[in-house]
Structure 1
Amino acid sequence: MAEPDPEPVRRRRYDPERRDRIIDACLQVIGEVGVAGASTRRIAAAADVPLGSITYHFADVDELLRVAFERFARRVSDRFEEYMARATTVEQARQAVVDMITADPLVDPRELVLTHELYTLAARDPAYRELTHAWMARSRHAFERHFDPTTARVLDALVEGLTIHAALDTEPRDPRDLARAVEVVTSTTWPTRD
Structure 2
Amino acid sequence: MATGRTDPQRRDRIIDAALDLIADEGVAGISHRKVAARAGVPLGSMTYHFQSMEELLREAFGRFAATIVALFEERLGAAGDPDEARAAVVDLVHDLSSGDQRQLVLTHELYTLAARQPAYRELTRAWMRRSRDILEQHFPPDTARQLDALIEGLSLHRALDTEPHDRALTAEAVARITRAG
In the superposition, the TM-score normalised over structure 2's length comes to 0.94
Corresponding residue to 1:42 among 34, 47, 52 = 34
Question: Which string of whole-angstrom CA distances, capped at 9 and with x for unpartnered residues, describes residues 44-63 of structure 1?
Answer: 11111011111110001000
In the aligned structure 2, how far is the partner of 1:29 from the partner of 1:89? 40
**1:106 to 1:69, Cα distance in 2 relative to 1, 3 A:** farther
Give deviations 1:73-96, integer Å, cap 9, x for gaps. 011011111100011011111110
Matched, 1:131 2:146: no
CA distance in 1: counterparts of 2:126 and 2:98, whole angstroms: 20
| Match in the other structure for 1:160 | 152
Distance 2:79 2:49 in 1: 40
State how far apart, in whole Å, the 2-side matches of 1:140 and 1:60 are: 31
Indicate the residue corresponding to 2:3 in structure 1.
Answer: 12
User: Structure 1 segments of 4 or more deviating over 4 A?
Assistant: none
Deviations 1:115-170 (A, max 9, x none): 00100100111111110000000100111111000000011001100011111111
Correspondence for 2:107: 115
* CA deviation string 1:27-58 (max 9, x = no partner): 01101110001121111111110111111100
| Conserved? CA contact 1:95–1:179, under 8 Å | yes
1:78 is the counterpart of 2:70:
yes
Cα displacement (A) at 1:172: 2.6
Q: Residue type of the partner of 1:148? A: P
- Structure 1 segments unaligned to the other structure (5+ residues): 1-10, 189-194
Please tell me the root mean square deviation across aligned C-alpha atoms, in Å.
Answer: 1.6
Q: Determine if the alignment matches structure 1 residue 173 to structure 2 residue 180.
A: no
Name which one, 1 or 2, has greater alpha-carbon Rg. Answer: 1
Aligned partners of 1:108, 1:25: CA distance in 2, in Å?
17
What is the distance in 1 between the residues matched to 2:96 and 2:121? Answer: 25
Identity of aligned residues (%): 58
Output the CA distance in 2 between the equivalents of 1:171 and 1:97.
Answer: 21
| CA 50–106 in structure 1, closer or farther in 2 if over 3 Å, else same | farther
Structure 1 residue 104, shift from structure 2 partner: 3.9
Greater helix share, 1 or 2? 2
Consecutive unaligned residues of structure 2, counting only runs of 5 or more, are none
TM-score, normalised with respect to structure 1: 0.88
Distance 2:101 2:88 in 1: 21
On the 8 A contact 1:106/1:112 being kept in 2, the answer is no
